[in-house]
Each structure stands twice: as C-alpha cells, then as structure tokens.
Amino acid sequence: MKITVAGAGYVGLVTSACLAELGHIVTCIDIQKDKINMLQNGRSPIYEPGLESLLEKNLRNGQLQFTINPHRAYSEADIIFIAVGTPEMQDGSVDLKYIHVVSHTIAHYIEKDVIVCTKSTVPVGTNDLIQEIIHSRKPPNLCAEVVSNPEFLREGSAVIDFFQGDRIVIGTDNPETASTLEQLYLPLKIPIIKTDIKSAEMIKYASNAFLATKISFINEIANLCEKVGADIEEVADGIGRDKRIGHHFLKAGIGFGGSCFPKDTKALVQLAGNADHPFELLEAVMKVNNRQQFLPVLIAKETIGSLKDKKIALLGLAFKPDTDDVRGSASLTIVKELLAEGAVVRAYDPAAIPNAQKILGDTIEYAYDIRFALQDTDLAIIATEWEQIKHVPLDVYRTFMKNPIVIDGRNCYPLDKVQKYPMTYISIGRPAVN
C-alpha cells in the first residue's frame, strides 16, 4: 500500500514511521523545509522515545521518505493521512486553516482513487467539510473517500501506543473503505471500531474530555483531603480498585497540560455552546485545572511569605515526563506567577529546556544539572515527575539548598521516606511534613 502522511508533527511522524515499520511505502510531506531536511538525515525534530531509531531504519531500507513536493506525495498515494496541526484560536475554537490548505492541495494533486483519513483532532462536522472541499475540486473521474480515523497516542509513549493501542476507530459510511482500512491495521491485532464519521469525531473529543475530567475530579478530592486530613494516595488507590473506576488518571497533582487536553476540552465546550447545549461539567473541569496550576505559588507564599528576591528552583518544565513539549505545561504558569511575585527562578529539565527557552527567553536561569538548580535556593518546586527528578536522594535538597523547603506538585516521594529527613515537604492532597 502506498501511503502519504500530510504533516510531520508528532502525530504525522509517529504514524509515518510506524506504518513504514509495518511494511508500507510511506511518504511524509510537510511545508517546513528545515524540518524535512532534518528528517531526511534521520534526525527527529521532536523528542519521542523509540521514534528516531524507527525513522533511521525505515529511511535506510527505503520504506520511508520525506518531501515538500505535493506532486510526489499525493499523485500516487492509495491512502492519505491528514495529520496537520489544528491550533487553538483566541476564543478557544479550533483553527482549521491547515486542514483547508491540505484538503485543497490533495484535491489538486491526486491522480488516482484515494482514501483520505483524518488523524488531526477536528471538531465534529469537519470531515464533511474536507469531503466537500476535495469533491468540489478533484478531477471528476477520481474517487476520494474521506474517513475519520482519530489517534489516541500519548506523547512520550506514542510508538508503543501505536503498536499496542486499546482501539482503532474508523469513521465512514462506506463499508468498502472501512474494510480497506481494517486490512491496513489488521497486523496490529488491536480491536477495531467501525462507526459513522461524526461518532468517530466525537469519540476523540469525548475520550480526552473524560480523562481530563478524571484528573480534575481527583485533584478536587486531593484538595479536600488536605482540608480534612486524609491522604489522596490512599484514597486514589482505594477508589481505583473498583474496576468500574480503575487506577488510570487518578494521579493528583498540579493539573493537566500538553497540546491536547487543554485545547480539546476548550473546543468541546465551544462546540457544545454552539450546539446550544452548554457543557457545564467540562467548564468546571477546566476551571479546576486552571486553579490547580497556580497551587505551587500559593503554597510557596503561604510557606515563606513574600517571594520577592527569593531564589526558587523549578524541577521540570515539560508538561509531563518523557517529552520535550512545554505546551500547556503548569511550569509556564508557575514561572509567570513566580516572576510576577519578584522571585528569581532557576529551572531544570532533562529535555525541555530548548523549547522552554523559546517561550521564556532569559527571564529565568536554566540548569542542566539538578544539583546546580538547587544550589543556594530558598525553595524548590517539583513540577514534572521525570525519573531523574523522582530519584533525587532527599539529602541532596538539604545539602544544596539554602533552606530545604520542597513543594512537590507531582507527589514524587512516599511520605514515610520524607518523614525521616529534616525538611519541609508539601505535596498535593497529603499531610505536610515539617
């Protein structure tokens, strides 16, 4: 099968490399020349475990190629995956400009019948729009069937998720098209759900919104635990053992970030509003999350008073471990608030410093070593539960900091371990240790 993937972002790249690994001939196209040059040399523009080796291998054996040439990408393709960005507009709705451009380009360059699969996260109804654009502009003798095929990859484990996902969703009313895609995915041995286009589009949003709801729910329970003296780790374990609830996404902390949950929850709230059905539950989920991201700074002020000229170590910039992505990261909110309070911030992250620098510039110091980040600081905030951070021996805080005061936004340390050390340790939804 000749496959083209439009967009060399995180979804497009993982999809390209993994489909090539399955034995297909894959061409990945992007409009950014620098990115394509880098990829042609086997280097990944994003940090994603396992991706670079798949890229290298499949480039070498000719299964995978990168191009900026639309004729080369689209004219011969049997299946085209759309994986272009769908950024957020100022009002929270989704900007579909790249979807429009790519749909026009596909219509212009196809030279044979083709299936166009949308992987980009798009509001319900967008695939109908793509279908309209392509149909009205393609050569009349060709057939182009548009399918919704949302992705459920997580950053940091996207390659594993591609090969071991929980389900594949194929949204089309055309049984023949559904069957072609089913054949494509069959070797993965992942359950396939065949449904209509709009339901497929909604499955994507509803999945992310439900997971975001779980996180805000457990964070509210955590906040309540603090008030009444319960321990959120015990509570999450206790409720998670009910199979109907499950343990996943019950990790309390300083809220969800990333390029998906914040954007997709907002977009679903927008969609609901436009459909004259305000989604009040999801509005509350977003409100709780915004509040949660501010928590470390509130706790810092409660603990040491004014933050003016205080030196603060921020451990973690990425929105979660195993990624260099800082989009929607609680760390960005924390830095903004700390700087507004007059604090001096030194941040450590094993992968995300270059991306953070693009946003924060030289407003803060950057440390490539945790000990250097902690050196002579008045307070430390743990914002991302990287393995490198979780395993810092507790006496390191005492040795390097001016005052060993740690606000752990990701509950990295077991309380009984911390209790053995003379330090102030405040986490989320658990009793403080002084």
Residues that bind ligand UGA (CB under 6 A): 121, 151-155, 208, 211, 215, 249-251, 253, 256-258, 260-261, 319-320
For 348, the token pair is 């450590």
Exposure string for 36-73, b = 16+ CB within 10 A, e = fewer: beebeebebbbbbebbbebbbebbeeebbbbbeebeeb
Of 247 and 371, nearer to ligand UGA (C-beta) is: 247
Least spacing, CB of residue 420 vs ligand UGA, in Å: 27
Q: Is the dihedral of CA 300, 302, 303, 308 positive or negative?
A: positive
Separation between Cα atoms, residue 313 and residue 9, nearest integer Å: 31
Q: Which of 28, 225, 260, 412 is catalytic?
A: 260
Of 27 and 384, nearer to ligand UGA (C-beta) is: 384
Of 295 and 307, nearer to ligand UGA (C-beta) is: 295
Separation between Cα atoms, residue 222 and residue 255, nearest integer Å: 11
Least spacing, CB of residue 247 vs ligand UGA, in Å: 9
Which residues, in sequence order, are CB contacts of 146 under 8 Å at separation 6+? Answer: 116, 117, 118, 127, 130, 131, 134, 172, 197
Least spacing, CB of residue 151 vs ligand UGA, in Å: 6
Least spacing, CB of residue 45 vs ligand UGA, in Å: 17
Which residues, in sequence order, are CB contacts of 302 under 8 Å at separation 6+? Answer: none
Least spacing, CB of residue 166 vs ligand UGA, in Å: 9
Of 156 and 404, nearer to ligand UGA (C-beta) is: 156
Report how far Cα 81 is from the mean position of its chain's Cα atoms.
20
Cβ pair 116, 144 in contact under 8 A? yes
Of 258 and 404, nearer to ligand UGA (C-beta) is: 258
Residue 225 annotated among the catalytic residues of the structure:
no
Separation between Cα atoms, residue 334 and residue 155, nearest integer Å: 22
Residues annotated catalytic, as ranges: 260
